[in-house]
């Protein structure tokens, strides 16, 4: 149970007890006053009854003395006693009200008293008018005595009843007082106990809260210290765009001493952001902080932080901070000075541009030179051919062998120049791609057919592919050039076994994905696999001597593949064979990956 709940229950129960004590006390006081009133009444009744007895006795004795003496002086006490009787009976009836039995007796007593009065008055009249004898005869009838006896009996009865009632009421009052004492005392003690427990709990809760507040203050101070030591600016604004936190780096970059200065530094703006190198401030749609206030995370580069004369290129990321109802409560931004990065990027761009320029100049030069070299070389080859025919028969065997060398070297040189020209053209971006629909099956068959004669004895050259493949969009001349080079190499370096050109398809479709040229030739050492694609590089000098070649075929093939959007890779085992793969979907897959990444970023 939580402390707050315990405290609430403690106070609630205490309150309930105090209410019960109050109600009980009130009830008890009411009952006490009621009992006191009842006791007073019964006391009054007892007194009235005694008074009645006295008056009746006085009335009887006044009447009796008058009969005996005939002295009219006794009429006055008689009348006085009669009046007193009436007055006492009125009081008695009033005090008996509410008690039916007592009221009935009181009324009967009045009737009896009046009757006694009448009888006594009649007796006194008889004495006055007829004399003593007649009066004595009337007394002997006993009417007056009978009435008087009944009055005495009823009075005694009523007195007894009043006394009993008084005792019962006194006893009840005593019980009431005791009960009130118990409830008030016990309740007060329990309430005191509960209030003490609640008080202790409140005090403890306060202590816990004070400790938590101290810990929170300490951790906040530590957090501020951490944030202040960050080399990036951290800046927080509330939902109304008012600055609410900025670490030291942010304040320095924003040119402010304290967070309160920021309103003055950036009037009307969350952060003074400007477009890189332009004289326009970033508008609301482009401001990452305002995007964060709309609940969107945003990251921007190519912006400048401007305060006065200072322009700092920055990279900024902003994100919303939501409250428990899902509304944006704050927007937080982290920004860093990317001056060095911008400078390095610029330097890199300059260097790349310079390198591209010089590469283009080199390729231009080579293309031009190759062209200039080919003309005289063709003439050398042509004339060597003519001379070799030895039409006049004037050339000896040695001259013919020299001429043959001139012709071979000339052809090799021409091959080299053609390759250099090709590579230069590709590198100089002078090769135009002629996109068309290309069916792979006939193209590959044709290439195999063309190169069959180069296969050594016992080497199988074949195309292995599914039928009915979907045609691809490519440049058939360039693709042919690449494949002729790869298959030509495979045949050149394979003494026995096979050279196979095969086509993989996208799983579950007939769409070509990879063209493989596999052989069972001499293989390429692992450490040379990386360099064979560089110009004039061969796997090893001895094979170059043995098999010939310029070392330009693979660089040209790879450059052409890149031009067509393919990638060319190799895997090989020395003595086992080599496999070259042209990935036809490299560009498609790359574009798809980039698209996926962009979507993921967004
Ligand atoms: P080259 O005109 O010398 O063949 P390439 O650029 O076509 O020039 O090949 C470079 C080198 O790669 C070759 O000299 C050879 O050492 C190695 N090479 C290429 N294809 C194969 C292959 N199928 N088997 C073994 N080695 C190969």
| Burial (CB count <10 Å: 0-12, 13-18, 19+), residue 549 | buried
Residue nearest to atom 8 of ligand 1 (CA): 551
Ligand 1 in reach of 488 Cβ (< 6 A):
no
Mean pLDDT (whole number) for 152-161: 90
Mutate to test the pocket of ligand 1, among 416, 426, 461, 532 (most ligand atoms within 8 A of CB): 532
Nearest-atom number in ligand 1 for the CA of 494 is: 24
Looking at residue 265, its pLDDT comes to 45
Confidence of residue 511 (pLDDT cuts 50, 70, 90): very high
Strand 497-505 and strand 459-464: the pairing is parallel
Confidence of residue 37 (pLDDT cuts 50, 70, 90): confident
Q: Is 577 left (phi over 0), alpha (psi -120 to 50) or beta?
A: left
Q: What percent of the chain has pLDDT over 90?
A: 43
| Cα–Cα distance for residue pair 364/362, rounded to 1 Å | 5
DSSP bridge partners of 204 = none
Ligand 1 in reach of 553 Cβ (< 6 A):
yes
- Residue-wise pLDDT for 273-299, tens only, equals 888 877 788 887 788 888 898 899 989
Ligand 1 in reach of 522 Cβ (< 6 A):
yes
Looking at residue 452, its pLDDT comes to 92
- Residue-wise pLDDT for 378-414, tens only, equals 999 999 999 988 888 888 889 899 999 999 889 888 8
Residue nearest to atom 17 of ligand 1 (CA): 539
Ligand 1 in reach of 520 Cβ (< 6 A):
no
Looking at residue 269, its pLDDT comes to 58
Sequence-ordered strand ranges (E) for 184-327: 233-238, 243-246, 273-275, 298-307, 310-322
Ligand 1 in reach of 570 Cβ (< 6 A):
no
Looking at residue 599, its pLDDT comes to 60
Q: How far is the CA of 526 from the centre of ligand 1 (A)?
A: 13
Residue 338 in 3-state DSSP? coil
- Residue-wise pLDDT for 352-362, tens only, equals 999 888 877 87
Is the pLDDT at 216 greater than 90, yes or no? yes
Is the pLDDT at 138 greater than 60, yes or no? yes
| Cα–Cα distance for residue pair 170/182, rounded to 1 Å | 18
| Cα–Cα distance for residue pair 292/298, rounded to 1 Å | 7
Mutate to test the pocket of ligand 1, among 461, 521, 539, 575 (most ligand atoms within 8 A of CB): 539
Residue 7, Cβ neighbours under 10 Å: how many? Answer: 18
Is the pLDDT at 478 greater than 60, yes or no? yes
Q: How far is the CA of 357 from the centre of ligand 1 (A)?
A: 30
Nearest-atom number in ligand 1 for the CA of 552 is: 6
Mean pLDDT (whole number) for 154-170: 86
- Residue-wise pLDDT for 421-440, tens only, equals 888 788 777 788 899 999 99
Q: How far is the CA of 395 from the centre of ligand 1 (A)?
A: 38
| Cα–Cα distance for residue pair 144/142, rounded to 1 Å | 6
Q: What is the DSSP-derived secondary structure letter of residue 436? A: E
Residue nearest to atom 7 of ligand 1 (CA): 553
Is the pLDDT at 601 greater than 70, yes or no? no
- Residue-wise pLDDT for 304-355, tens only, equals 888 877 888 999 999 999 999 999 999 999 999 999 988 999 999 999 999 8
Please answer whether residues 38 and 161 qualify as being in contact, where contact means their C-beta atoms are separated by less than 8 angstroms.
Answer: no
Ligand 1 in reach of 77 Cβ (< 6 A):
no
Residue nearest to atom 25 of ligand 1 (CA): 523
- Residue-wise pLDDT for 223-274, tens only, equals 888 988 988 999 998 888 888 889 999 988 888 888 887 764 444 556 788 8
Ligand 1 in reach of 513 Cβ (< 6 A):
no
Choice between 22 and 109, residue whose per-residue pLDDT is larger: 109
Q: How far is the CA of 473 from the centre of ligand 1 (A)?
A: 28
Angle at 516 between CA 515 and CA 517, to 5 degrees: 125
| Cα–Cα distance for residue pair 24/203, rounded to 1 Å | 32
Ligand 1 in reach of 84 Cβ (< 6 A):
no
Two tokens, residue 460: 């199988």
Is the pLDDT at 546 greater than 70, yes or no? no
**pTM check: above 0.85:** no
| Cα–Cα distance for residue pair 201/195, rounded to 1 Å | 10
Is the pLDDT at 602 greater than 60, yes or no? no
Q: Is 304 left (phi over 0), alpha (psi -120 to 50) or beta?
A: beta
Residue 166, Cβ neighbours under 10 Å: how many? Answer: 19
Least confidently predicted of 92-101, 172-181, 246-255, 448-457? 172-181
Most confident of 6-15, 48-57, 422-431: 48-57
Ligand 1 in reach of 577 Cβ (< 6 A):
no
Ligand 1 in reach of 518 Cβ (< 6 A):
no
| Cα–Cα distance for residue pair 313/308, rounded to 1 Å | 14
Nearest-atom number in ligand 1 for the CA of 549 is: 2
Ligand 1 in reach of 519 Cβ (< 6 A):
yes
Ligand 1 in reach of 493 Cβ (< 6 A):
yes
Measured CA to CA in angstroms, residue 3 lies from 8, 13, 64, 192, 196 at distances of 9, 15, 90, 19, 14
């Amino acid at each position: 149970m939580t402390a707050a709940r315990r405290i609430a229950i403690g106070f609630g129960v205490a309150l309930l007890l105090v209410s019960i004590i109050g109600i009980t006390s009130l009830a008890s006081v009411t009952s006490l006053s009621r009992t006191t009133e009842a006791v007073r009444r019964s006391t009054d009744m007892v007194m009235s009854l005694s008074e009645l007895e006295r008056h009746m006795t006085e009335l009887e004795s006044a009447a009796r003395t008058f009969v005996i003496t005939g002295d009219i002086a006794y009429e006055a006490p008689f009348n006085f006693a009669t009046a007193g009787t009436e007055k006492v009976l009125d009081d008695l009836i009033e005090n008996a009200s509410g008690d039916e039995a007592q009221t009935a007796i009181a009324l009967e007593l009045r009737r009896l008293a009046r009757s006694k009065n009448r009888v006594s008055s009649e007796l006194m009249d008889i004495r006055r008018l007829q004399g003593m004898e007649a009066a004595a005869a009337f007394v002997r009838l006993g009417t007056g005595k009978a009435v008087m006896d009944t009055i005495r009996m009823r009075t005694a009865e009523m007195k007894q009843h009043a006394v009993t009632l008084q005792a019962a009421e006194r006893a009840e009052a005593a019980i009431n007082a005791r009960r009130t004492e118990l409830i008030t005392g016990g309740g007060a003690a329990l309430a005191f106990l509960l209030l003490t427990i609640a008080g202790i709990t409140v005090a403890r809760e306060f202590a816990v809260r004070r400790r938590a507040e101290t810990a929170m203050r300490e951790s906040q101070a530590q957090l501020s210290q951490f944030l202040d030591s960050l080399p990036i600016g951290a800046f927080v604004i509330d939902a109304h765009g008012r600055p609410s936190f900025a670490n030291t780096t942010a304040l320095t970059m924003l040119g402010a001493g304290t967070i309160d200065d920021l309103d003055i530094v950036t009037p009307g703006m969350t952060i003074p952001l400007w477009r890189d190198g332009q004289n326009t401030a970033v508008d609301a749609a482009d401001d990452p902080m305002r995007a964060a206030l709309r609940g969107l995370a945003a990251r921007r580069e190519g912006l400048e932080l401007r305060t006065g004369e200072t322009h700092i290129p920055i990279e900024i990321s902003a994100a919303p901070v939501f409250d428990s109802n899902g509304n944006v409560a704050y927007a937080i931004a982290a920004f860093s000075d990317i001056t060095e990065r911008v400078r390095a990027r610029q330097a890199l761009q300059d260097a790349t541009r310079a390198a591209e320029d010089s590469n283009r100049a080199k390729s231009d030069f080579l293309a031009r030179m190759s062209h200039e070299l080919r003309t005289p070389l063709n003439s050398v080859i042509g004339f060597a051919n003519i001379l070799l025919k030895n039409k006049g028969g004037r050339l000896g065997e040695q001259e013919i062998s020299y001429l043959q060398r001139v012709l071979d070297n000339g052809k090799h040189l021409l091959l080299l120049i053609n390759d250099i020209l090709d590579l230069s053209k590709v590198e100089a971006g002078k090769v135009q791609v002629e996109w068309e629909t290309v069916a792979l099956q006939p193209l590959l068959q044709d290439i195999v057919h063309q190169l069959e004669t180069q296969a050594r004895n016992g080497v199988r050259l074949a195309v292995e592919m599914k039928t009915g493949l979907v045609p691809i969009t490519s440049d058939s001349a360039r693709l042919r050039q690449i494949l002729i080079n790869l298959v030509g190499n495979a045949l050149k370096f394979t003494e026995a076994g096979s050279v196979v050109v095969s086509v993989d398809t996208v799983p579950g479709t007939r769409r070509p994905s990879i063209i493989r040229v596999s052989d069972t030739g001499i293989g390429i050492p692992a450490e040379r696999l990386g360099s064979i694609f560089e110009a004039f590089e061969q796997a090893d000098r001895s094979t170059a001597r043995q098999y010939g070649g310029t070392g330009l075929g693979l660089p040209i093939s790879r450059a052409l593949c890149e031009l067509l959007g393919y990638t060319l890779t190799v895997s090989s085992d020395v003595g086992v064979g080599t496999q070259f793969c042209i990935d036809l979907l490299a560009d498609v897959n790359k574009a798809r990956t980039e698209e996926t990444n962009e979507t993921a970023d967004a």
